[in-house]
């Protein structure tokens, strides 16, 4: 396979080398003509209208005042001039001293991306995680550079606390900011932060719609309408309806719909206000995958040969969520020296959840045999257990966040400054009620599944939905989990200053101070109670258990940037982050949890050392980045795969490596984006010292390219494709369990019927390879098989 990949990529490597040499030669001949480029604010990387026909608000505002507009010849796949779209990060990607991977709008279109996790397949170092057994950490759960980022998903710079699978219908692009970023985002961000840039109103009328259909009963419709109200105001609404099964997985489906209206005032003026609402309703069947036995998934033919489609679940499994966020963003430019931002968000989240987590004790599963046509292995003791899965629960959460920041551009003598300061307040509250299955009136364990032929509906259990008679509040310790109610409240103050000593050299330094307060109250059965404390019949005592924690944390950062000309940036960065216990308010059943009888409240801390370079050449048509980093984490958090408890281990971990990226147009009509990551992930202390960190591959790469042939002709077409590759990874810190490498080949072809209509076809996992997307210590979820998806797009 590796030889095939190398031979297949050889022509592209040669082309990229030629393009890079040409770009470097061009840049060297024009370097002398650069003027006043160092430290400039990001230029607008757009033509008069972008690919959607949306003229940017900044363009219109500048033209309306008759001011000369800076025009940059670029390409959508060169993302170095992309904005970070936050007042707290005023510089563009190229002049930010950190690795930032951008999934641009054009790539999302070509790949027909439907969700956040599909977009992040283009980013190296991202791994999807199923979550824990009882706390409900499913939905979008990612690891960045091997470290959990389940609480580090943002939209337009504000945290999204919801636990759900995010559809892409309202997403314009996705930025992944690698490494600790506490000075910008606050607590968390050990491996990095995922920031979704949403679609907002513009001053150019636009009417668009997409209709898709294909494999596994896939049906999808998306509409996008933008209407100009007057010279400075506009309204936009996006809508989505989606229904699909999953190729290669039995009984798994997703039904969801969403709507995202927004209105903007003051576009092109000194004061801009944008009000957005996003709502998504999802009705899904969760897929907790297949067990890992003797170090391998049971779906591997070399192990047990179980079918990749097998689902070890119950017919009652469901994941129903309703998520709404209201966002108000204000920007006011006082003058050329002062700019004020204030971003405010309310969020409301609800969830009704029940899932089956397959378990397989080695004592019984080691006796499993490879399937044979005679099917003689019927001993239920050698089957798949389901009694370790999450019990049903209902969850209600709400959140509030307000971030106010002031950007000041000024001089002190010969030094030029760009200072950003502000305050960040966030509050999240969560209530969860746990249930247990009514086993037809008997308090017996859920029966085991047959390994090779699971009987999904052979239970006789009630549905346990919406407080039906088939659910009861748990009084049996062996079946129940505790109810909980809790909150987290963070007050953050930040300040950092970038100082230019000359046009070509600057330093940036600052800090953020946070006071994190969290408290939880639990009642009902609890895993930390002794049998005596539970009293007769295993009932919990009437007194509730309380956990609380308050921490003040300080995180400094420092960077050195060297920009010898307009197309090169070199940088060194030191950054830090802190993740207090109890931060995962909505993601776990009880985020603060006793460890060995004590409450472990020491936070997880991370430090980043990174050196890198970013280059944009060929008139900004092609961009390239390279970075070397070391990321150290102490007191690493972990999640018990059975009980779902978030625990502080005290273990130190380190990931260090190299990351490369290249994106843009190498020849007229030929775009390309590629990434590569080389990691050395190690446990630095404890019993597993020297072993690999779980879920982190040593090598990972992505490539996507497309060529537009005969543009403007009746017989025009665009053809492209790509590959994503992730080396096999370990599933546990002891390195006793491992999944094989992921290799996925995708393709794309489209035809423009006229200026308004496009028809296209995407193919995914062309080789139908058995890959694994979601990973956890004792189970993995097979990725979808070969799939085809046709799409008809309208754009007026």
From 628, 739, 607, 610, select the one nearest 684 (Cα to Cα).
607
Task: Answer yes or no: are the C-beta atoms of 490 and 424 closer than 8 Å.
Answer: yes
**pLDDT at 314 > cutoff 90:** no
Radius of gyration of the chain (CA): 26
Question: Torsion angle, CA of 381/385/387/391, rounded to 10 degrees?
Answer: -160
- What per-residue confidence (pLDDT) applies to 447? 54
Q: How many CB atoms lie within 10 A of CB 28?
A: 12
The pLDDT-based confidence of 649 (bands split at 50, 70, 90) is low
From 44, 136, 718, 701, select the one nearest 393 (Cα to Cα).
136
Among the residue ranges 281-295, 585-599, 662-676, 777-791, the one predicted with the least confidence is 585-599
- Rounded to 5°, the CA angle 330-119-285 comes to 105
- Mind listing the pLDDT tens digit for each residue in 576-624? 988 877 777 777 655 555 444 444 567 888 899 999 999 999 889 999 9
Between 501 and 299, the more confident residue is 501
- Highest-pLDDT range among 63-77, 136-150, 320-334, 772-786: 320-334
- What per-residue confidence (pLDDT) applies to 432? 85
What token pair was written down for 177? Answer: 């900011």
- What per-residue confidence (pLDDT) applies to 479? 41
- What per-residue confidence (pLDDT) applies to 17? 35
- What per-residue confidence (pLDDT) applies to 640? 54
- Mind listing the pLDDT tens digit for each residue in 1-50? 444 334 443 433 333 333 333 333 333 333 333 433 433 343 333 333 34
Distances (CA, A) of 716 to 76, 720, 761: 20, 14, 15
From 194, 211, 234, 193, select the one nearest 54 (Cα to Cα).
234
- Mind listing the pLDDT tens digit for each residue in 199-229? 999 999 999 999 999 999 999 999 999 999 9
Number of continuous H segments (helices) and E segments (strands) in the chain: 7, 42
**What is the maximal distance between C-alpha atoms in the chain?**
87
Which pTM was predicted? 0.84
Q: How many CB atoms lie within 10 A of CB 2?
A: 11
- What per-residue confidence (pLDDT) applies to 506? 97
Question: Torsion angle, CA of 369/372/376/381, rounded to 10 degrees?
Answer: 30
- Going from the N-terminus, what domains does the chain have, and what CATH number goes with each? 34-795 (2.40.170.20)
- What per-residue confidence (pLDDT) applies to 45? 36
**pLDDT at 177 > cutoff 90:** yes
Residue with tokens 């080396």: 727
What average pLDDT is seen over the chain? Answer: 79
Q: How many CB atoms lie within 10 A of CB 29?
A: 9
Phi, psi of 656 (to 5 degrees): -135, 155
Q: For residues 647 and 700, give the distance between their C-alpha atoms in angstroms, rounded to a whole number.
A: 29
End-to-end CA distance of the chain: 44
């Amino acid at each position: 396979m590796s030889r095939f990949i190398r031979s297949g990529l050889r022509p592209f490597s040669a082309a990229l080398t030629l393009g890079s040499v040409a770009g470097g030669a061009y840049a060297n001949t024009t370097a002398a003509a650069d003027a006043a480029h160092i430290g400039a604010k990001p230029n607008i990387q757009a033509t008069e209208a972008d690919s959607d026909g949306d003229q940017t608000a900044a363009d219109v505002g500048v033209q309306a005042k008759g001011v000369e507009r800076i025009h940059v010849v670029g390409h959508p796949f060169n993302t170095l001039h992309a904005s970070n779209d936050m007042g707290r990060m005023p510089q563009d990607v190229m002049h930010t001293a950190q690795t930032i991977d951008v999934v641009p709008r054009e790539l999302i279109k070509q790949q027909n991306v439907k969700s956040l996790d599909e977009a992040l397949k283009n980013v190296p170092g991202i791994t999807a995680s199923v979550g824990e057994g009882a706390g409900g950490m499913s939905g979008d759960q990612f690891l960045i550079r091997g470290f959990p980022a389940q609480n580090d998903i943002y939209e337009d710079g504000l945290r999204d606390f919801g636990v759900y699978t995010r559809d892409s219908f309202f997403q314009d692009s996705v930025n992944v900011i690698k490494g600790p970023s506490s000075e910008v985002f606050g607590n968390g961000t050990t491996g990095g932060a995922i920031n979704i840039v949403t679609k907002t109103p513009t001053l150019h009328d636009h009417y668009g719609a997409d209709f898709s259909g294909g494999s596994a009963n896939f049906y999808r419709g998306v509409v996008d309408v933008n209407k100009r109200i007057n010279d400075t105001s506009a309204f936009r609404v996006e809508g989505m309806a989606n229904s699909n099964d999953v190729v290669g997985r039995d009984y798994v489906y997703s039904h969801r719909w969403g709507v995202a209206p927004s209105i903007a005032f003051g576009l092109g003026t000194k004061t801009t206000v944008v009000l957005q609402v996003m709502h998504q309703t999802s009705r899904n069947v969760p897929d907790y995958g297949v067990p890992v036995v003797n170090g391998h998934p049971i779906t591997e033919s070399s192990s047990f040969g179980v079918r990749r489609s097998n689902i070890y679940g119950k017919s009652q499994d469901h994941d129903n969520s309703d998520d709404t966020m209201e966002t108000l963003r204000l920007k006011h430019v006082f003058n050329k020296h002062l700019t004020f931002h204030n971003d405010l968000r309310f969020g409301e989240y609800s969830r009704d959840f029940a899932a089956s987590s397959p378990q397989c004790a080695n004592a019984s599963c080691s006796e499993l045999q490879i399937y044979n046509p005679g099917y003689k292995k019927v001993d239920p003791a050698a089957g798949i257990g389901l009694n370790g899965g999450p019990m049903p629960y209902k969850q209600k959460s709400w959140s509030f966040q307000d971030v106010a920041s002031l950007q000041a551009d000024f001089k002190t003598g010969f030094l030029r400054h760009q200072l950003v300061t502000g305050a960040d307040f966030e509050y999240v509250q969560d209530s969860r009620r746990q249930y247990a299955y009514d086993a037809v009136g008997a308090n017996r364990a859920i029966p085991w599944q047959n390994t090779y032929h699971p009987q999904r509906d052979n239970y006789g259990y009630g549905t346990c939905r919406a407080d039906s008679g088939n659910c009861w509040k748990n009084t049996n310790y062996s079946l129940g989990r505790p109810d909980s109610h809790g909150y987290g409240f963070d007050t953050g103050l930040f300040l950092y200053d970038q100082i230019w000593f000359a046009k070509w050299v600057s330093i940036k330094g600052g800090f953020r101070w946070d006071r994190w307060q969290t408290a939880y109250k639990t009642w009902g059965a609890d895993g930390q109670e002794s049998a005596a404390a539970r009293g007769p019949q295993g009932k919990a005592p009437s007194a509730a258990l309380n956990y609380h924690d308050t921490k003040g944390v300080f995180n400094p950062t420092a960077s050195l940037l060297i920009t010898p000309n307009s197309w090169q940036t070199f940088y060194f960065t030191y950054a830090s982050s802190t993740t207090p216990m109890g931060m995962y308010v909505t993601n776990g059943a009880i985020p603060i949890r006793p460890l060995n009888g004590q409450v472990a409240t020491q936070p997880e801390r991370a430090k980043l050392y990174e050196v890198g370079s970013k280059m944009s050449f060929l008139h900004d048509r092609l961009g390239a980045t390279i970075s070397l980093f070391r990321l150290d984490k102490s007191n690493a958090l972990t999640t018990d795969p059975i009980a779902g408890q978030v625990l502080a281990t005290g273990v130190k971990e380190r990931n260090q490596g190299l990351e490369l990226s290249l994106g843009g147009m190498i020849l007229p009509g030929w775009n390309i984006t590629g990434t590569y990551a080389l990691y050395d992930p190690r446990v630095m202390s404890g019993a597993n010292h020297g072993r690999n960190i779980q879920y982190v591959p040593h090598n990972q790469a992505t490539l996507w390219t497309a060529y537009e042939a005969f543009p403007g002709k009746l017989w025009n077409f665009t053809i492209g494709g790509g590959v994503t590759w992730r080396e096999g990874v370990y599933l546990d810190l002891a390195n006793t369990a491992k999944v094989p490498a992921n290799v996925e080949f995708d393709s794309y072809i489209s035809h423009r019927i006229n200026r308004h209509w496009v028809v296209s076809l995407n193919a995914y996992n062309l080789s139908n390879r058995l890959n694994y997307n979601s990973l956890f210590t004792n189970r993995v979820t097979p990725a979808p098989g070969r799939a085809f998806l046709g799409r008809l797009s309208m754009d007026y």
